[in-house]
Amino acid sequence: MPDFSIITGIYNSSRHLPNYFRMLEQQTFGDWEAILVDDGSTDDSRGIIEAKVRQDSRYRLICKTPEGSPSRSRARGLSEARGRWVAFVDHDDLWAPQKLEAQKFLLETVPGIAILHTDRIVWRDQKWPEPMSIFRGPVSQMPWRIQEPEEVIYQGLRIIFSSFAAPRELVQGVGFHPDLRGVDDFYLFVRLASLGTICHVEFPLTYYTAHGSNLSHSNNIFVEGFWAVSRLLEHDDVPAKAKRSVRAQALRTEAVSLFASDRPRALRLLLESLRTYFIASTLTRLLFLLVTLPVPKNLQKALMSRVKKLKFDFPVLKDLFRRG
């Protein structure tokens, strides 16, 4: 039985697979299995993976009926996992070589971990990042700390899914909800946070690939998703503040989707969100809406797009100081 089961959903991923294989094979800890779940790719992804499986038995390919649902691909891979721990990585994200070794050390050292995640670098280049982040010293000395759910979940999700690892049986006990789109990781983390400790490696071991599709998700997907999570949690055994936080985030997400079409309703929803659970970023959205109320809707929409892009770009600037 391997120590880590690494789960990746695949769909028309052929151009990313060489970097994906290179990333795993450069890990300083090698006792893993990689479960790649193909959701009906129409390119040559399946043939590339089949060739790799013949070369290296640590890779496993699962082909499923196309559903267009990353949550269902993740759930299928999780059901097949055999490792002590599970880790997830999207096909276009990358890990620094010490990622699994560092997480293995903490999972064996820190009791009761339910969520273990790492710092990240936002990566926009299709090339291999050179040089990759390397901690100069034993992974036992890599900085880490315990976090509260308030910091990384209740005030808005601050966990990159591709950086996450946890005990397999714990994650399987919670699982992925098959009908959640865009927020399946959020639901998982809310549930896991009530079952154990959140541990953060304060060193960038995950390269999150930012590209156009990250910015173009339909607002409706997230509005529907947050409300679905809120309904699911109503009868779950999670803290009351978790339920209030999720409801507040659902109200906020719906409000933002209405900024350019129904500003009075958006204002009411933001105020209700703040009354339900105070989230600092909700207040900034309220202030933005108030400032732009006199602005024509088309100009406001352009400003929103610009602000969203700046928010997405800002981590890249911050991460420049972490490289090397």
pLDDT single digits (tens) 43-74: 999 999 999 999 999 999 999 988 878 889 99
What is the SS3 assignment for 262-291? CHHHHHHHHHHHHHHCCCHHHHHHHHHHHH
Is 70 exceeded by the pLDDT of residue 85?
yes
Residue at which a domain ends, from 187, 214, 241: 214
Q: Angle between the 184-193 and 70-80 helix axes, to the nearest 10 degrees?
A: 50
Q: Judge if 22 and 119 occupy the same domain.
A: yes
Global pTM value: 0.90
Mean pLDDT of the chain: 90
Expressed as residue numbers, the domain containing 77 is: 4-214
Using CA atoms, how far residue 291 sits from 172, 258, 271, 300, 305, in Å, is 46, 16, 15, 10, 16
Mean pLDDT of all residues in 135-152: 97
Mean pLDDT of all residues in 249-273: 95
Q: Which of 262, 267, 257, 261 is nearest to 289 (CA)?
A: 267
Is 80 exceeded by the pLDDT of residue 107?
yes
Q: Judge if 53 and 138 occupy the same domain.
A: yes
Question: What are the start-end ranges of the H helices in the chain?
Answer: 17-25, 45-55, 70-80, 99-109, 149, 168-174, 184-193, 212-215, 219-233, 240-257, 263-276, 280-292, 297-319
Q: What per-residue confidence (pLDDT) applies to 147?
A: 98
Both tokens of 66, joined, read 């196309």
Q: Judge if 138 and 243 occupy the same domain.
A: no
Indicate the pLDDT class of residue 311, thresholds 50, 70 and 90: low
Q: What per-residue confidence (pLDDT) applies to 48?
A: 97
Residue 208 lies in a domain: yes
Q: What per-residue confidence (pLDDT) applies to 11?
A: 94
Q: Judge if 205 and 288 occupy the same domain.
A: no
Number of domains composing the chain: 2
Q: Judge if 124 and 254 occupy the same domain.
A: no
Q: What per-residue confidence (pLDDT) applies to 131?
A: 87
Residue 324 lies in a domain: no
Residue 34 lies in a domain: yes
